[in-house]
């Protein structure tokens, strides 16, 4: 896998609040730029491995694209990983949560490409890295504002 973007932010809210909100991907479009819509595709809870979502994203130069997202890993109050069926990028998103003080937590967000091909390394990966790095910074600041102002 190739790392596309990684951002970390400290939040003045309990880890439980951050985890429950951020891992319910039906909220993802409320705080992450480029996510135009996202809806649950089944009746599973947000952190059940196998949970599916249909996401509509803005792709530079290509308009709107539909992506099926599946939860691949989950550890309560600590970690969530999803993978998207979006070739050729083949995205994998990870969110890690940790307590840093009473009522404060840290969220680390990462996006990877599962495409390890040589051509992608020189074409797709640099563009995706630039777009997702900018979106990640804005997204985590929006997550912070949303969670800290909801208390």
Pull the structure tokens for residue 128: 């995706």
Question: Got the DSSP string for 7-38?
Answer: EEEEESS-HHHHHHHHTSGGGHHHHSTTEEEE
Structure-model confidence comparison of residues 63 and 44, the more confident one: 44
CB 2 within 8 A of CB 64: no
* E strand spans, 1-151: 2-11, 35-40, 52-59, 63-75, 79-85, 91-101, 104-113
Structure-model confidence comparison of residues 99 and 60, the more confident one: 99
**What does the pLDDT read at residue 151?**
56
CB 12 within 8 A of CB 103: yes
Q: Report the side by side order of strands in the sheet with 2-11.
A: 2-11, 104-113, 91-101, 79-85, 63-75, 52-59, 35-40
Helix (H) or strand (E) holding 121: helix 118-122
- % of the chain exceeding 70 in pLDDT: 99
d(CA 139, CA 145): 10
Query: Could you report the per-residue pLDDT of 73-122, keeping only the tens digit for each?
Result: 999 999 999 999 988 889 999 999 999 999 999 999 999 999 877 777 77
**What does the pLDDT read at residue 24?**
97
**What does the pLDDT read at residue 76?**
95
pTM: 0.92
d(CA 25, CA 39): 8
In three-state secondary structure terms, 129 is: helix
Which domains occur in the chain, in start order? Answer: 2-149 (3.30.530.20)
Nearest to 128 by CA among 74, 60, 67, 80: 60
């Amino acid at each position: 896998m190739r790392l596309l973007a990684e951002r970390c932010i400290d939040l003045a809210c309990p880890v439980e609040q951050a985890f429950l909100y951020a891992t319910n991907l039906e909220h993802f479009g409320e705080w992450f730029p480029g996510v135009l819509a996202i809806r649950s595709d089944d009746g599973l809870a947000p952190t059940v491995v196998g949970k599916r979502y249909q996401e509509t994203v803005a792709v530079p130069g290509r308009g709107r694209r539909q992506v099926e997202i599946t939860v691949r890993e989950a550890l309560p109050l600590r970690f969530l990983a999803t993978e998207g069926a979006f070739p050729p990028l083949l995205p994998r998103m990870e969110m890690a949560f940790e307590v840093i003080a009473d009522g404060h937590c840290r969220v680390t967000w990462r996006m990877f490409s599962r495409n390890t091909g040589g051509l992608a390394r020189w074409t797709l990966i640099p563009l995706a890295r630039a777009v997702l790095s900018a979106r990640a910074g804005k997204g985590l600041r929006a997550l912070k504002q949303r969670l800290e102002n909801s208390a």
